Chain A
Amino acid sequence: MGGWQDRLAEVARRNRQEIIRARLTRREMVRLGLLTSTGALVLKRGLSSRAFADDSGNTPPSPPVTPWSQPMPILPVKAPITPNQMTAGPLLANGTRQLVPVDGTTLIDGATQRINHQLFTVNEDGTFGGTFPPQKFYQFDIRETQIRLNPAYELTTFWGFDGQVPGPVIQATYGEPALVRYQNNLPSVKIAQDFGIAEVTTHLHNAHTPTESDGNPVDYFNSSADTGPINPTTNKPVNPLGYKDQHYPNVYAGYVKLGNASTNSIATPAGDPTEALGSLWYHDHHLDFTAQNVYKGMFGCYTLFDALDTGDETTGLRLPSGKYDIPIFFNDFVIDQDYQLVFDLFNLDGIIGDRFAANGAIQPYLNVDQRRYRFRLYNPGPSRWYEFALYDGSKFWPFWQISTDGNLLPQAVQVSSVRMGVSERVDIIVDFSKISAPKLYLVNRLEQVNGRGPTGRVLTPGTPIVMINIGGLPAQRDQSVDPAAKPLTLRPLPDPDFKALQSLAAKARVRNWVFDQGDSGTWVVNDELFDPNRISASIDQESEEVWVFQNPEDNWSHPIHVHFEEHRVLSRNGKTVTPNTQFNGAIDYARRDVAPLQQQSQTKVFFRFRDMKGRYVMHCHNVVHEDHAMMVRFDIV
């Protein structure tokens, strides 16, 4: 393991690389204070994380870690509270915050105004009404926090939901609308930070959410440490207590057409159950600052259950459940010698790191029993793509993929790896009772040397991220379904007849979206830069549309995410998908919310825009690209 001298040497080498690229002479370097007269490079830390992972073969600079020396953290499940426990504002002397009831309004437009929630109301007696009155209540304390990423490290400062990175799991149920209060208790926006901005707007990724609760990039709001914008009419602050209420109806898409909103309940959820979502995540979406804020820790887990995917392995589809259903968030970080996060503010391509964390621990271990597990794999970015596989030291073991973007497939597919662009989720089942190896490594096989996207090279074995120790038999018998016993049918598709879907698509309006580098080195969609006031598509509610996503560049990848609705893939690169077509291992005609556009590719998809009206966005989920204007606004009207 390298000592501090080695690290200094690494930094110096990297600095020299950068200086060589800048074509400076020795004399100029002396003049600029980069080189002493004796020729030693002046030590400068964290010069450029672009250089950290470029293709020059440099040794990564983050401090060394002790791998496999800490357990992989299991994300805690968030406990609901009652509406009369809702609080907000700065901490009071007694260590609590003042009670602030839910008032049926929420903030939009940079906390400059409040509007009413569309789909619920607050009655005079404090009970809830409207289309989907909330039944479950949660409250997040978004705050600065310290996390030890590895036993070899000192504490690292993050910003996290409830001070945790990743944030805790909200286990939601279809038919049971939730209200989530986000308290922004970050340090005052007036306090200097290495990077990131202490304003937040939380997007629940892939949820069917009313616009005012969607976490639109322009709907960021101030910390409770700050006054926030002043209402010009009343001359009073709009959001002095620094919080925002967001309403998650937890309904399937399609309830307007089906007319079943009024019977919404856990027993009979509103909408079309074939539209169910499973593995969602929440994350910050601040205009221009998403990459910085998400890298700083502002993301967490949200899962949705229903009568098929029950969260109980003795009912419904009998998927592995409880402590055998484990979400794992993968991050890549660059860490400096003070063990703090490094974010390259001057990088346009995307930020990639050299240390890999699973649930906030760098290279942890996970002890498992000899039984089946469901892992929900999450790629929160900001810019790295992964191809996950299970390696025993000499060979790879197959497993079962059961979702794309967290939405259950019609049928489980046996795969040997899964590829994931930024923001994608894949659920897998691994049967450790059938793996005759004492331990496995969960490895990333996909090579990526800069923020542009993967090179396409698949490495053997790749980078190990989690060491999985396979123990003995579980104390209780595994009651989950065995995907190997028979083809495992999961959730039927909304349009099971693909030919019928294609004829619907043939009649639908087509919109083309080209994701490209602008002439001027900026990121554009259809040659346009993001302007939150420009509506790039006005879409009739309940309409069906075909969208064609295109990436004409040969050295960039763009994982495209559309808020609010899932899509079905119709064709890739002009080639029609079939029920048997696999893309990166998974069945390709499944429901998705991310179109991972690799180099020079085109994806044609089918959409229905249902149930709600308002403004939403579509953007590249390489969030560095998103922050640099690769985003469009679309309105459902």
Chain B
Amino acid sequence: MKRRHFVIGGALAASVRAAPTHARQLHQDGVEWFTDVEVSAHDGRTYRFYDDLLKGRIIMVNFFYTDCDLLCPLMTDNLVRVQALLGPRVGRDVFMYSISLQPEHDTPEVLAAYAKHHSVGPGWLLLTGQSADIELLRHRLGFVDSDPVRDANLEEHLGTVRLANVPMHRWTMTPALLNPEQIVRALKRVIPEQA
């Protein structure tokens, strides 16, 4: 059984914008909740999590790791089918993110090889970053098992995809292994008035 371990401290970038301090109307929203931690993608670029990846977007996000030989390959392949169904919308008005649960192992280069192997198309970023940052994102996005023993077991990570219309603050979730047509339908339900 693999256990998560954490790289705490180290050389951390100090360039995160302070959260706004004025009272906000929405909970669990914006940079305050989702944070602007810096994440690295398999495309070799770095992004601020909220400002660059979430803000104003319709997104799908899940967690995985490249060494996972149980659930993740199935999930990734299923999401590849979802991406195919969505076609050119991915990268245009729908954005897909898969965040590594083993960020210290899953470097951008490792993620790039994984993306190529699984035919991950454009508009879908595999993300990694500082362990503590990723751990915070995992908590904020609700990929946490409330049973601490189970939560600590990497092999029992959640096999779900969060679907969100971020500006509408409309969040739902669906199992990553649901048939791809149903995942697309669930995604469309968070988008108002699809033509």
Contacts and interface: CB of A to CB of B under 8 A. Distances in A.
Contact of A521 (B19, B24, B132, B157): B157
Nearest to B70: A519
Contact of B32 (A22, A44, A194): A44
Contacts, number: 162
Nearest to A292: B172
Query: Chain A interface residue count: which class?
Result: 35 or more
B177 A520 contact: yes
A197 B170 contact: yes
Interface string B61-84: 000000000110001000000000
Interface stretch (A24-32, A161-169, A366-374): A24-32
A520 B176 contact: yes
A342 interface: yes
B12 to A, nearest CB: 6
Contacts of A28: 8-9, 12, 130, 132-133
Contact of B193 (A189, A194, A533): A189
A193 interface: yes
A167 B32 CA distance: 36
Contact of B9 (A21, A27, A44): A27
A520 B63 CA distance: 11
Contacts of B17: 33
A8 to B, nearest CB: 12
Interface in A41-99: 42-48, 50, 54
A45 B27 CA distance: 7
Interface in B41-96: 70-71, 75
Given A32-B35, A194-B169, A450-B146, A288 B19 contact: no
Contacts of B25: 194, 338
A261 interface: no
A220 to B, nearest CB: 8
B167 interface: yes
Interface in A193-239: 193-195, 197, 226-228, 230
Interface string A370-382: 0000000000000
Interface of A: 18, 21-25, 27-28, 31-34, 42-48, 50, 54, 188-190, 192-195, 197, 226-228, 230, 287-289, 336, 338, 342, 344-349, 450-452, 518-522, 529, 531-533, 555, 627-629
Given A32-B35, A555-B147, 6 more contacts: A22-B132, A22-B136, A27-B12, A28-B130, A45-B23, A288-B186
6 contacts: A18-B139, A23-B132, A24-B132, A31-B12, A31-B14, A45-B24
